[in-house]
A and B are shown apart, each in its own frame.
Chain A
Amino acid sequence: MTQIPEDHVLEPTTLTASAGAGDDSGSAVEGGLLEVRGVRRAFGAVVALDDVNLTIRDNEFFALLGPSGCGKTTLLRAIAGFEVIDSGEILLGGEDLHSSPPERRPVNLMFQSYALFPHMTVAKNIAYGLERERRPRAEVAERVATVMAAMQISELAKRRPSQLSGGQQQRVALARAIVKRPRLLLLDEPLSALDRQVRLEMRVELKRLQHEFGITFVMVTHDQEEALSMADRVAVMAAGRVQQLDTPVGLYRNPANLFVAGFVGASNLLVGVVRANTFDSEHFGSLPLPSNPKGVARGHLVLRPEDVRIVAPGEGHVQAVVSDVQFHGAATTVLATSSVPGAPMLVAMVTGLAQVTPGDRVGLHWDTGLVVEDALA
């Protein structure tokens, strides 16, 4: 696959567009810790998982990203053993998990609700999994103490879950799962119950722990920012299928279809048809299209806001009037409306301050752009 032509300075693009291109999903990649092959699961008429294929590598931070109802949680629960699959197979280290009940899988799940044992102290909660393995008492005590120290919750040992804050409960839930040293740690929306400040801290913390303990993490989330900022690789899911499996940069720079383009990051999405070297936009007429690597005939032109430049009126590809300017500190977002009826508002992001104010006439220019299919995978 060729990557999107560009003039902006985003070096990782070049690297990952090729690294992410033609990537795994099902193929027998060496170092695949978990293989999900042709997994299907339906609840009555509702198909939650529809021929899902993916490979999770040893030691990576993997995210399952998608809107609610896309099947990501069902997949996570199927890996943990709480959901029976109708067909397909889930292999962990080459071994089919199908016949193992949850308690025998070397996989642990951190529940969205944390599901701490309310009648046990924090230390007892964390020790529970090791006691089930019949570890010697001294070993249990030592491992519990170690993990509590790593999670900075040692002083909470004697408390009950109801006496903890949300962030503390989350650390306990994580410690309880990590102390078992699972081959795979599954996290169901791990940050969703936390308030913003704690959430941002925990993003860093989770990555640190993943590194420190050397455990493969699989996180389910509906928050694209979370997935992009934390995961090594992300599987974007919709309608029970994997739409794209790629690195965060790969997803952003080279979305597989309209759904991924719209779900991951902000975009200007212009509907239209591809001609020889142009894109015939329904609203903005013929626009230059230097390349069309996906060979799409009709679909949407994806323009990331930072690729759109503001130029003098009369210049650029589209003429518009600035309708709003939002200052974010490091960058400024400019919203511009064209006079074409029904045309979408265009978003440009400039670093630092924008030299325009609402009401200004401007031209919008870009040198890059990717056309994607509308249809889901």
Chain B
Amino acid sequence: MPAQKAHWQSRSRRRARAGLLGPGLLLMAVLSIAPLVLVIAYAFMTRGRFGGVVPGFSLDSWARVLEPIYLGVLWNSIVVATITTLLALAIGFPVAFVISRLPPQWRMVALVAVVLPFWTNFLIRTYAWVVLLNDVGPMNKGLAELGVISEPLGLLYSEPAVIIGLLYSYLPLMILPIYASLSSSEREIAEAASDLGARPWRVFRDVYIPLSVPGIILGGIFVFVPSIGNFVIPDLMGGGKSVLLGNVIRDQYLTARDWPFGSVLILVMLAILVALFAAQAVASRRLTGKLTR
């Protein structure tokens, strides 16, 4: 019977597909879910004397999160990550917009230029900024020689320096999703708007901005998430003055040897990020009016 045969085929094909997905899923489970389970378990245990954990249920670490010093760090981290994200949007949107309007061959060149820094080691890039912003570095020297400043700006080892470092590192993650949302079918929709009598600014407001919102939200998350968890840039460019959530987590594991508390902080951060992703999913579905099946 043809119907039966089709059914049999589809089932065997489904089985084959599951088999092909198997190794990947297994890898995901081992590399991503297992560590997460460990972190969750640690968060409810007691700290060991020299690091590690001692079995035994405890909620002590959870209570510590509410101490003012840690709430302060959490708040500071959110502020820094938010400022970084907004600046990335302010710079990234125009860049993505311009790239999407370039002729195709130049579009490719521009996109490569955007991702080029990613091909360099993260630490080396950050050190380059340290050299650049240094009190005796090229920027301060140059400005002094031009007579713009009489003494070094003292930019390095400050919160703005951390934001500059984060912005530089994660800007491409803002540009790419916005570019993707602008470059698909939006051009014809924009043409339709101007055909119906919308002036260029109006087209921008009514078509480009609303249609790029999903890209903006995604880019925002892509920048916000690594910014809030970063500890290398605050260390190297903040000079230890600017303590962010990532630094505290790192310190709990490597310096203070309080793994349970570090795990709690990780889960707090994770909760923030999950909430962000959920908000993104709801918002972009509502904005683009797409139906999920």
Contact = CB atoms under 8 A, between A and B. Distances in A.
A161 B206 CA distance: 16
A113 B188 contact: yes
A128 interface: yes
B208 to A, nearest CB: 11
Interface residues of A, number: 27
B6 interface: no
A118 interface: yes
B185 interface: yes
Given A117-B207, A119-B288, A133-B197, A102 B191 contact: yes
A189 to B, nearest CB: 13
Most chain-B CB neighbours within 10 Å: which of A80, A102, A177? A102
A367 B198 CA distance: 59
Interface residues of B, number: 22
A117 B197 contact: no
Interface string B265-290: 00000000000000000000001111
B211 interface: yes
B196 A111 contact: no
Contact of A115 (B188, B199, B210, B288): B188
A343 B248 CA distance: 87
Contact of B288 (A102, A104, A118, A176): A118
Contacts of A108: 195-196
Contacts of B185: 113, 115
Given A113-B185, A113-B188, A132-B202, A118 B196 contact: no
A353 to B, nearest CB: 36
A133 B185 CA distance: 25
A160 interface: yes
Interface string B145-189: 000000000000000000000000000000000000000010011
A207 B289 CA distance: 33
B192 interface: yes
Contacts of B289: 118-119, 160-163
A161 B198 CA distance: 20
Nearest to A109: B195
A180 B194 CA distance: 13
Interface of A: 80-82, 101-104, 108-109, 111, 113, 115-119, 128-129, 132-133, 160-163, 176-177, 180
A101 B196 contact: no
Contacts of A160: 289
Sort A-B residue pairs by CB-CB distance and give the 5 closest, nearest first. Answer: A132-B197, A129-B196, A115-B192, A160-B289, A115-B188
A176 B289 CA distance: 19
A227 to B, nearest CB: 23
Given A117-B206, A119-B289, A102 B195 contact: yes
Interface in B57-97: none
B291 interface: yes
25 contacts: A81-B195, A82-B195, A103-B194, A103-B199, A109-B191, A111-B191, A113-B185, A115-B185, A115-B188, A115-B189, A115-B192, A116-B189, A117-B192, A117-B207, A118-B211, A119-B210, A119-B211, A119-B289, A132-B196, A132-B197, A162-B290, A162-B291, A176-B192, A177-B195, A180-B196
B243 interface: no
A176 B291 CA distance: 23
B193 interface: yes
Contact of B197 (A103, A109, A111, A119): A103
B12 to A, nearest CB: 32
A65 B235 CA distance: 68
Given A162-B290, A163-B291, A115 B191 contact: yes
Contacts of A176: 192, 196
Given A115-B189, A118-B290, A119-B211, 20 more contacts: A80-B195, A102-B195, A103-B194, A103-B196, A103-B199, A104-B197, A111-B191, A111-B192, A113-B185, A115-B188, A116-B192, A117-B207, A118-B211, A118-B289, A119-B210, A128-B196, A129-B196, A129-B197, A163-B289, A177-B196
